[in-house]
Structure 1
Amino acid sequence: MYRLDLRRLILLLTIAATLLTLLNSFHASYRTLYRQLIAQTLEANRAYAAKLAHSTDNFLKAAQQQLAYSATLLPELFDRPEQLDAEVARLKGQTGTFNGVFIVRTDGRVLATAPNSLGLAGSVLKTQEMLAALRARQPRISAPYAGVRGYLLVFLSQPISTRDGRYLGYVGGAIHLGKHDGSLQALLGNHYYQDGSQLYVVDANRHLLHHQDPSQIGEIVNGNPAVEAVLRGEEGSRQLLDSQRTDMLAGYAPVASTGWGVVAQRPSTATLAALDDLMLEILFDVLLFFVPLLVAIWWLSKLIARPLQQLAITARHWEFSSAQEQIRHVHSWYFEAEQLKLAMLNGLALLHGKLGRLNQENITDPLTGLVNRRGQQFALKRWQEQQQPFAVIALDIDHFKQVNDNHGHDVGDQVLQHVSHLMDSVSRSSDLVCRSGGEEFVLLLPETSLEAATQVAERLRGLISHTQAPTGAFVTISAGVAHWPGSASSVPTVLKLADEALYRAKRNGRNRVVVTGQQEIGSEDAPLD
């Protein structure tokens, strides 16, 4: 009779499982590192763009503040040309922020300029941005535009007014964009990377204001998702294709005061360049472990006994009730198989025993031995599914906190056990005695009417109040009684009604039973028979 060679089967399965595990681990490592590198680069670019956007915003605000301070001094100097010249020279030379500084009268005539080489003093300016600054009569940052000499610049202006509010003109400063001697260019810096990373700034009309390639400054950027997002005032990061169809990892942030946007981006290939080398190192390290393992498995497979397929298949389904019977029917015709069969049967018996004990422990309160809240919910669900009526007695030990305060928690635990024992003594085998938490208990009585449950509750109350507790005195209980489905159609509602009746008993003086929908039974002693 032909029998499958289990040694070869184990060997083939082990090799396949090992290779699949290796491939899965390798792929998972690759995907994890890939996502991590992408996420780190996106976040780094976002943070860098946000930093530069914030610095640019602060730079422009500081420049505006310089002009604002100068505007407070100039009304007294308007008729003093030499002092006007000194003031524009101070503004230009003090921080190096402005490439050019102008004081312009309301008729557009330039009263003073710095540097003098501009040759504009005494002339009437008619450029659009200069006239817009005159009309604005408020602090203003212009949109970028081409100056007289063709340089792209931005113009900041601050109105000059007398103390009585008479408008005299403005003081303004030009900042070159894209020039090596521009202060904003110095702030943003030069970013020339071998890996193709880029940093650029666009204005609200999508014109490039800063770029590592000066020839591109002034060009319009269209179809770039990062640019569109940052011009909507969004800060974030995303993976995108640039105008050259290069996959980029871009971070972006807006410049709040101007509506410009700063974008920092790096090619995905540059970010992932080291990933392949890293994965080769990981593969080499993994193979150093798996190759000896495969050799060991190949050798150990020779030592495995022959046909154990039935036992192996059955062992994978130990959770089924039929597993034990299936193992008994396995034909163990040799010593090793017989010993394994016996071991599996013994182990299965132990497992079932442990599972039974674990299940019992899972629904049992360790202090009192009563059913805990989990077991209570399980029983209620089963009774509800079976449409089995039941009564609920919710009870609570009166003044239990005083027991703990006066006698200690150990005696308090003994009182809980004392009450639990008395509850057991008045319950039937079909009843469920539960500890729902602390000094609160629940007695579930299947197939019991509301009236009968009330009698049980009153008998229990009288028994407890006449039985000496571990404190050396007597304790009392308050109880609430409800019925399902008599009191309500919903099981949670019935439990709530029993609790509410219990709290009514508490409020009305304790040591009494209150029935849902009825008056309280009272605190008179009940017969114990």
Structure 2
Amino acid sequence: MLTLRKAGPRQRKKLSLTSLLTGLVTLVVLLTSTIMLVGSYDSKRQSLMETTLHLNFTNADRMSRTMDSLFQSIGGSLAYNAQMLSDMDVRTPEQVEHQLKLMRNSSNYFNSIVVIGADGVVRNVEPATIGTAGKHISSQSTKEALALRQPYISAPYMTATTKRLIVFLSQPIFSRNGTYLGILGGTIYLQENNVLSRIFGNNSVDDLGSYYYIVDSDGHLLYHPDKQLSGMDISSNKVVQKLMKGESGEQEVRNLQGTDLLAGYSSVPANGWGIVVVSPMSLIHRQLIGHIETIIGYSLVPFIVLLIGVILVARRLARPFAYLADLVSKMGKEKIVIPEAKPHWSREADLLTKAVFLAVTDIQEHTDQLTQEAATDALTGLKNRRSLEYTLSQWIDSGTPFSLIVLDVDRFKFVNDTYGHVTGDEVLKHVAGVIVSSLRPDDVCHRYGGEEFVILLARTRPQEAFKVAERVRRALEQSKGPIPSQVTVSQGIAHYPLHASEQEGLLKTADQALYQAKSNGRNRTMIAEDKPAAPSA
């Protein structure tokens, strides 16, 4: 009699080794790609933010210096014309009016100019169509200026009659015997055409979305891309609060509308105002997306080829993947030292290891190339200003004594104006080439900016540096440049720590020596004067 065996549980379908390994390999490749992208994203994001903050501060500082110089010139114009009106009490109204017209037409600083007597009566106004001549002053700012008897800059305020947002500047007028006669004042209409709007009214920093705005000493907006915000109180903004304290710097900030921004800001000493250059964080995000898309574009085809190859030979390649995944996961986070590729017992694993090593090496070389380009001047091939500041910081921190030569091409503006900027660039490349060929092996030359170069000479005393500088100067003087006229340079030398103990002071001291060389006739080298010895106790 036959006995039937009871059927057991249904066997589950098992994955084949090929399918399992293929799935694992596919997962590893995808994870590796993700790690690479995340690491690259974080690294690039930090780099972009630091670069944008520094550039915004540089732009804000440059504009604040421009505005500071402008207001010093405005103050000088007021002081000069106030001195010219010192005999106002014996002049006729026509003579004073002629002086005001001449002042307004020659400088274009002010939208209107007024002379107010010590009794508070407007004696003259230019243009006369304003119609305030003969009337008593009514605005609080003009009353303060009249009572102060000193140079005065008002906070922006809205006029009662014309509803204009203006700034009022004044200079006291004293007679030749010291009698107070009144004030000479000028107004700038902030929302109309004037010297400030011509220089600062554009508000655009670049084509990518960065912009700037200007605030007064009380935190009110003077210039902004949105004209309707002029006069608005934004003193609660953290950056504006620092400007109100006279500080300058760079930081991330959220504006009153809740937008995250990267801000560089700088105060203006002449009037207490502040300039803020900002870039929206959305700008960084757009650049990061473009960066990721570029990486994906470059990596997609190699990874597809790699994946197909791995799938075909995946049966016995499990062990190498853990190592390769760990290696690629470090990309974007740390410097990777590629070890020597050792032969693997599996031919397929050996080929894959070499392919991944090649890809990682290529990406790392590309990153190193970008780092090198960031420290190199594109025109001359010399180290750039960023590299100079880094080297100076390293040498000063280590206490290494060195000399510094600041070199400036003589009459370079004449070259640009006469032969054009393309020829000017050729002159700069020629100068760079002659400098490099004239230096010692350990000397380093940087392009500082424009037609100015800085040479660093480690462990070199000023007199030795002078010989090097003279060798460079004579080589340039005797060289045949891209232009018919002779190319010459003026040079200033400073020594660390003899002339200064910090970077800014050292560059400033060398610059002063350079300016002395310029003043003495150009095409020469000057060593900075030694600091006077401290008096003995």
The normalised TM-score by structure 1 is: 0.53
The SS at the match of 2:89 is coil
Distance 1:88 1:137 in 2: 20
Aligned counterparts of 2:316 and 2:225: Cα–Cα separation in 1 = 69
Alignment match, 1:67: 78
Q: Residue in 2 aligned with 1:245?
A: 258
Residue number in structure 2 paired with 1:47: 58
Contact 1:246 1:267 in 2 (8 A): yes
Which whole-Å CA distance do the structure 1 matches of 2:228 and 2:301 have between them? 54
Cα RMSD after superposing both structures:
3.0
Query: Where does structure 2 lack aligned partners over 5 or more consecutive residues?
Result: 1-14, 324-344, 347-537
**After superposition, where does 1:68-87 map in structure 2 within 5 Å?**
68-80=79-91, 81-87=93-99
Name which of 175, 178, 182 aligns with 2:194: 182
Deviation per CA, 1:339-373: give whole Å up to 9, x if none: xxxxxxxxxxxxxxxxxxxxxxxxxxxxxxxxxxx
State the shift of 1:97 in Å: 0.7
Q: Larger Rg: 1 or 2?
A: 1
Moved more, 121-130 or 195-204: 195-204
**Residues 178 and 211 in structure 1, CA contact (< 8 A), matched pair in contact too:** no
- Secondary structure of the residue that 1:123 maps to in structure 2? coil
Q: Secondary structure at the match of 2:132?
A: coil
Task: Name the structure 1 match of 2:163.
Answer: 150
Structure 1 Cα separation of the partners of residues 313 and 220 of structure 2: 71
User: Which position in structure 2 is the counterpart of 1:24?
Assistant: 35
Task: Report the Cα distance in structure 2 between the residues aligned to 1:212 and 1:103, rounded to whole angstroms.
Answer: 34
Q: Give, as a single letter, the amino acid of the residue that structure 1 aligns with 2:30.
A: L
Question: Does the 8 Å CA contact 1:159/1:171 hold for their aligned counterparts?
Answer: yes
Supply the distance in 1 between the matched residues of 2:88 and 2:53 (Cα, whole angstroms). Answer: 52
| Paired letter, 1:33 | K
Matched, 1:291 2:304: yes
Question: Are 2:15 and 1:33 equivalent residues in the alignment?
Answer: no
Identity %, equivalent residues: 32
1:37 Cα deviation from its structure 2 partner: 2.2
Which residue of structure 2 aligns with residue 408 of structure 1? Answer: none
2:251 and 2:19 map into 1 onto residues whose CA distance is 52
Amino acid at match of 2:282: T
Deviations 1:403-430 (A, max 9, x none): xxxxxxxxxxxxxxxxxxxxxxxxxxxx
CA displacement, residues 64-102 of structure 1 (integer Å, 9 cap, x when unaligned)? 100111112111343222221111111111121111111
Tell me if structure 2 keeps the 8 A contact 1:125–1:131.
Answer: yes
For 2:145 and 2:120, the matched residues in 1 are separated by 10
Counterpart residue identity of residue 84, structure 2 = L
CA distance in 2, matches of 1:301, 1:215: 66
Corresponding letter in the other structure for 1:40: T
Cα separation, 2, equivalents of 1:287 and 1:125: 74
Kept after mapping to 2: 8 A contact 1:191/1:198? yes
Show the 5 A alignment for 1:368-387. Answer: none
- Are residues 1:135 and 2:135 paired? no
Decide whether the 8 Å contact of 2:261 with 2:278 is kept in 1.
yes
For residues 151-208 of structure 1, the C-alpha deviation after alignment (integer angstroms, 9 at most, x for no partner) is 11111111112343222222111111122x1321222122368876442222222221
Shift of 1:254: 1.2
Query: Paired residue for 2:108?
Result: 96
Q: Match for 1:168 among 181, 194, 204?
A: 181
Letter in 2 for 1:139: P
Paired letter, 1:296: G
Amino acid at match of 1:94: S
CA shift in 2, pair 1:222/1:171, >3 Å: closer
Residues 1:111 and 2:120 aligned together: no
Give the aligned partner of residue 350 of structure 1: none
The residue number in structure 2 matching 1:518 is none
The match for 2:226 among 206, 213, 224 is: 213
1:202·1:210 contact (CA, 8 Å) conserved in 2?
yes
CA distance in 2, matches of 1:209, 1:76: 36
Report SS of the residue matched to 2:305. Answer: helix
Q: Counterpart in 1 of 2:438? A: none
- Cα distance 1:246–1:196, how it changes in 2: closer, same or farther (>3 A)? farther
* 1:257 Cα deviation after fit: 2.0
Which amino acid in 2 is paired with 1:79? Answer: V
Once the two structures are TM-superposed, the CA of residue 12 in structure 1 deviates from its matched residue by 6.2
**Would you say the 8 A contact 1:42–1:237 is kept in 2?**
yes
Contact 1:78/1:84, CA 8 A, preserved across alignment: no
> How many pairs does the alignment contain?
306
Give SS of 1:62's match.
helix
- Structure 1: distance between partners of 2:297 and 2:157: 58
- For the 8 Å contact 2:220–2:235, the answer to whether it is kept is no
- 1:492-527: CA deviation from partner (whole Å, max 9, x where unpaired): xxxxxxxxxxxxxxxxxxxxxxxxxxxxxxxxxxxx
* RCO comparison, higher one (Cα < 8 Å, 6+): 2
- Once the 2 structures are TM-superposed, how far is the Cα of residue 114 of structure 1 from its aligned partner? 0.7
Letter aligned with residue 24 of structure 1: I
1:14 deviates by 5.0
CA distance in 2 between counterparts of 1:12 and 1:126 reads 85
- In structure 1, runs of 5+ residues without a counterpart are 313-335, 338-529
2:292 to 264, 279, 283: 279
Q: Does 1:223 align with 2:236?
A: yes
User: How does 1:342-381 map onto structure 2 within 5 Å?
Assistant: none
1:47 deviation in Å? 2.0
Query: Does residue 234 of the first structure (1) align with residue 234 of the second (2)?
Result: no
Q: Which amino acid aligns with 2:238?
A: P
CA distance in 1, matches of 2:313, 2:226: 66
Whole-angstrom distance in 2 between the partners of 1:302 and 1:265: 55
Q: Contact between 2:201 and 2:223, CA under 8 Å: does it hold in 1?
A: no
Quick one: structure 1 residues 237 and 90, their matched pair in 2 at CA, closer, same or farther if it must change by over 3 Å? same
What do the CA deviations read for 1:368-416 (whole angstroms, capped 9, x no partner)? xxxxxxxxxxxxxxxxxxxxxxxxxxxxxxxxxxxxxxxxxxxxxxxxx
> In 1, are the aligned partners of 2:113 and 2:187 still within 8 Å (CA)?
yes
2: CA distance, partners of 1:13 / 1:146: 72
**Does the CA contact (< 8 Å) of 1:176 and 1:183 recur in 2?**
no
**Structure 2 residue aligned with 1:121:** 133
- Within 1, Cα distance between the matches of 2:136 and 2:259? 49
Q: Contact between 1:176 and 1:184, CA under 8 Å: does it hold in 2?
A: no
Matched-pair contact (CA < 8 Å) for 2:45–2:284:
no
Find the residue that maps to 1:160 and give its secondary structure: strand
Aligned residues of 1:204 and 1:260 also touching (Cα < 8 A): yes
| Distance in 2 separating the partners of 1:244 and 1:194 | 22
Q: Trace 1:182-201 onto structure 2 (pairs within 5 A).
A: 182-191=194-203, 197-201=210-214
